[in-house]
Structure 1
Amino acid sequence: MRSIRRELIAVVVAVLLVAAAFSAKYLDLGIVRPLVNATPQRLRDFADTAPIFGWWEAHVGWGTLPAIVIGVAAVLWGQAVARRLPWPAVPWVTWATACAWAFSLAMIDGWQRGFAGRLTARHEYLRQVPTITDIPEAVRTFSSRILDFQPNSWITHVSGHPPGALLTFVWLDRIGLGGGAWAGLLCLLAGSSAAAAIVVAARVLADEQTARLVAPFVAVAPTAIWVAVSADGYFAGVAAWGIALLAIATRGNPRLPVLYAAAGGLLLGWAIFLNYGVGLMAIPAVAVLVSAENLRAALRVLLPAVLAALAVVAVFWLAGFWWFDGYHLVQDRYWQGIALDRPFQYWSWANLASTVCAVGLGTVAGLARTFDIAALKSRSGLHLVVLGALLAILCADLSMLSKAETERIWLPFTVWLVAAAALTPPRSHRWWLALNVVGALLINHFIFTNW
């Protein structure tokens, strides 16, 4: 009874937080508002549905019926299917379901507006792709083009990320898969694969039964709204598999743990060249190592993983891009833009409200279960990694470099939070899963999200 009370308190607090964040724009609270120094039009453009970045628009689309069917099926039969499938099929079915769910949610907005045209907007990577005629030169001069208000400045999203993000879409174009649909497909497939990565990791960090309980929650997570399509979905997928491979190397007893550790390190090394903020995935990665049986097992994973990640850093350094130079310049570029008009007095807590919307109330109930002293003392891997992701979010929030749009930006962390819902009593899973699904459907049908 006490644990149920704790979950309900967490959900009520989360609902009040979200209500306050959505209401602040309409109240006279001084600087505690989503945007200052703004005209009514600018308020509509950048804060119409704060704390979520989007615009109020009740709508349905081709994806409405499939999304409802997938959501209802997951609620009614997801647990039973996950329990009865042969284990090798569970990650694959989870990935397929997550992909179909994310695509259906995107198609509520329509093919062009919801999927194929998302990454072709004026601030997105694909607008920059045609200008890249010399890839080595682009990498070598990348830092010099980060700051705004100069003739050759990168467009917004390119300047705000390391060169790996732009290079991905340039390479995709070079192999003949140019355009918004192919770019969206890459983000959809990579981003939805995070669900499979989390299930695989849960099996080695906890046990197979727990992994099966996790599967329905990550398969139809509300985070899917921003996975399809935003490049951050792609970033989240890469980082998730990096953590999963570290978990296998640490707790899975593979034949060649060094190879798994090195592969995990390579993916995490590549991930920090996709998004500067993914550097905070070091916290969940350390959580995985802490869950190791002993110090020797942790060190066996740590060394090859770090060396592999440093190899990626070295390749970019030899190509002419130093990560720390880019990071410091991005901070300057950040304060050249709308960040100056987004008060920390609002976004410091409204960011967390947007996170609640992104992960769902069922996840909030599960997070109340992660603060389990006994589980933490026993170094339960799943508890530690979820808390690691939560700590990474808090660090990102306090950095003041993530004001607004965090439902998208924090995807590499929030996809892991969703797994916490599996820590609630199994008899309550259907209700928490239903809350997540209903929340996602409401957001996608009443808000036209910017991503």
Structure 2
Amino acid sequence: MRLVIAGLLVAAAIIAGFVVNAHDPNLIFAAAAPLFGDWQPHVGPGTPIAILIAFLVVAKGPELARHRFALPIAYATSVAFTFSLAMIDGWGRFVTRLTTDDEYLHEVPGITDVPAMLRGFAARIPDFQPDSWTTHVSGHPPGALLTFVALDRVGLGGGAAASLFCILVGSLAVVAIPCAIKNNAVLPFLVLFPGAVWVGASADGMFMGVAAVGLYLLTRWPLVGGVVLGWCLFLSYGLVLLAPLALAAVWRQGELGRRIGLAVVGALAVVGAFAIAGFWWYEGYELVKLRYYQGIGDTRPYWYWVWANLAALALVIGPAGIKGLRKDKWVAGAAAAILAADLSGLSKAETERIWLPFAVWLLVGTAKLDNQKRWLTAQAVTALAVNHLVLTNW
């Protein structure tokens, strides 16, 4: 039944998107609504490779999930599959995803004094100023920009290195999640995660990997996990909604208070370090809300996106993700984060990439699915269909 409901939701979002765009293409600002991109069927050099990898994962994935080297095999396969999906759109598009005038790399050459940048970061968030940050830099705390500045400083500047970095870090979620839930059966479903379409390449794909690693570390070493999740707060304001998942990670009978305490200390250490350096997270968040409504966030209608976002989510997690939804602390945590983000009104479109750090955790229930090859096939078909029918913006 839930698959039927999801299918109807996606169909309704697509039909409504066509109707609205026919009336006013500048209203919902998404030609392929509920996805951010354009309806443009295409193939590319990554097409045969992506199909081959998908076929092999369907055929051998459940078996390899029990292999002694399952984790490194799954990581390498995830990187390959995500990269091959990106190559459906071509190398030229891949290397320019993060170099446009709206993106992080546009600002990197101007960062010559990091301490001064941090002290003045918040003042440059609002739009319509001579020195306003680009759209993506203004919409995120400085940690995201600092990441790409660091890559540039170590000789890995440019769009190719940045995009590859997002895939390499994003794919860490494929390893971190089964370690956190202690079940490798989920591995092939994580490899064929339809959301991989947007991991290669968007910074949100990188955020997904860092967040997953932080949540895994929280299950083992709460203080270290807290530090990593504290860093996540400075990658994206929305990652404050990792809190329900963090609670799931530290939940152990008799140790909850101590583990939460250690995690909070680790996170606050990062918050404090940024505050001392001159950037206060909450001030940035308040200014980002101002910037959001200075742009297309003010134009896009809440009445459409509050439900169309969920249609996009259905495409991100795929049929197996929907079928596998069950009562589970990880699923509940991810669902709570997504619901809060959706109702906030600060998530209007582009949620197929923005919600990646939460959406990937909705797949944990796939580990218990019967007929795994059938459901893996459905995941592969979803990812391949989306990437070949829509020219996505990420």
TM-score by length of structure 1 reads 0.85
Residue aligning to 2:223: 262
Q: Secondary structure at the match of 1:55?
A: strand
Segments ≥4 residues shifted beyond 4 Å:
33-36
Residue aligning to 1:353: 311
1:21 to 13, 24, 42: 13
2:83 to 100, 103, 121: 103
Q: Secondary structure at the match of 1:237?
A: helix
> CA contact under 8 A between 2:216 and 2:249: conserved in structure 1?
no
Task: Write out aligned runs for 1:155-194 (5 A).
Answer: 155-194=134-173
Residue type of the alignment partner of 1:417: L
Is residue 2:74 matched to residue 1:91? Answer: no
Q: Secondary structure at the match of 1:17?
A: helix
Distance (Å, rounded) in 1 between the aligned partners of 2:22 and 2:156: 39
Change (3 A) 1:128 1:116: same
Distance (Å, rounded) in 2 between the aligned partners of 1:237 and 1:246: 14
Distance (Å, rounded) in 1 between the aligned partners of 2:378 and 2:298: 36
Residue aligning to 2:276: 318
Q: Secondary structure at the match of 1:340?
A: coil
Residue aligning to 2:187: 215
1:421 to 362, 366, 371: 366
Deviations 1:382-419, CA, capped at 9 Å, x for gaps? x1012100110000000000000000000100111122
> CA contact under 8 A between 1:118 and 1:229: conserved in structure 2?
yes
> CA contact under 8 A between 1:202 and 1:214: conserved in structure 2?
no
Runs of 5+ consecutive residues of structure 1 not aligned to the other structure: 1-8, 28-32, 204-210, 250-259, 372-382
Distance (Å, rounded) in 2 between the aligned partners of 1:226 and 1:26: 22
> CA contact under 8 A between 1:97 and 1:220: conserved in structure 2?
no
Deviation at 1:288, TM superposition (A): 2.3
Is residue 2:390 matched to residue 1:450? Answer: no
Residue aligning to 2:218: 246
Q: State, as a whole percentage, how many aligned pairs show the same letter.
A: 52
Distance (Å, rounded) in 1 between the aligned partners of 2:301 and 2:319: 26
Residue type of the alignment partner of 2:91: W
Out of 297-306 and 164-173, give the one that drifted further: 297-306
Residue aligning to 1:138: 117
> CA contact under 8 A between 2:27 and 2:299: conserved in structure 1?
no
Residue aligning to 2:241: 280
> CA contact under 8 A between 2:180 and 2:249: conserved in structure 1?
no
> CA contact under 8 A between 2:27 and 2:301: conserved in structure 1?
no
Residue type of the alignment partner of 1:177: L
> CA contact under 8 A between 2:306 and 2:348: conserved in structure 1?
yes
Residue type of the alignment partner of 1:245: L
Residue aligning to 1:434: 377
Deviation at 1:341, TM superposition (A): 1.4
Is residue 2:171 matched to residue 1:235? Answer: no
Q: Secondary structure at the match of 2:324?
A: helix
Higher helix share: 1
Residue aligning to 2:334: 389
Deviations 1:53-101, CA, capped at 9 Å, x for gaps? 0011111111101100111111111101112x11xx2221111111111
RMSD (Å), alpha carbons:
1.4
Is residue 2:73 matched to residue 1:128? Answer: no
Residue type of the alignment partner of 1:110: G
Residue aligning to 2:43: 60
> CA contact under 8 A between 1:200 and 1:244: conserved in structure 2?
yes
Deviation at 1:423, TM superposition (A): 2.7
Distance (Å, rounded) in 1 between the aligned partners of 2:368 and 2:296: 39
> CA contact under 8 A between 1:35 and 1:341: conserved in structure 2?
no
Q: Secondary structure at the match of 1:448?
A: strand
Task: Write out aligned runs for 1:27-38 (5 A).
Answer: 27=19, 33=20, 38=24
Task: Write out aligned runs for 1:72-87 (5 A).
Answer: 72-83=55-66, 85-86=67-68
Q: Secondary structure at the match of 2:38?
A: strand
Deviation at 1:424, TM superposition (A): 2.2
1:365 to 323, 327, 330: 323
Distance (Å, rounded) in 1 between the aligned partners of 2:162 and 2:114: 18
TM-score by length of structure 2 reads 0.97
Residue type of the alignment partner of 1:213: A
Distance (Å, rounded) in 1 between the aligned partners of 2:206 and 2:30: 25
Deviation at 1:155, TM superposition (A): 0.4
> CA contact under 8 A between 1:34 and 1:346: conserved in structure 2?
no
Change (3 A) 1:53 1:35: farther
Runs of 5+ consecutive residues of structure 2 not aligned to the other structure: none
Change (3 A) 1:263 1:440: same
Distance (Å, rounded) in 1 between the aligned partners of 2:77 and 2:383: 15
Distance (Å, rounded) in 1 between the aligned partners of 2:21 and 2:113: 40
Distance (Å, rounded) in 1 between the aligned partners of 2:334 and 2:78: 20
Deviations 1:236-256, CA, capped at 9 Å, x for gaps? 111101111112x2xxxxxxx
> CA contact under 8 A between 2:83 and 2:200: conserved in structure 1?
yes
Deviation at 1:434, TM superposition (A): 0.8
Residue type of the alignment partner of 1:233: G
Distance (Å, rounded) in 1 between the aligned partners of 2:372 and 2:381: 14
Task: Write out aligned runs for 1:320-335 (5 A).
Answer: 320-335=278-293
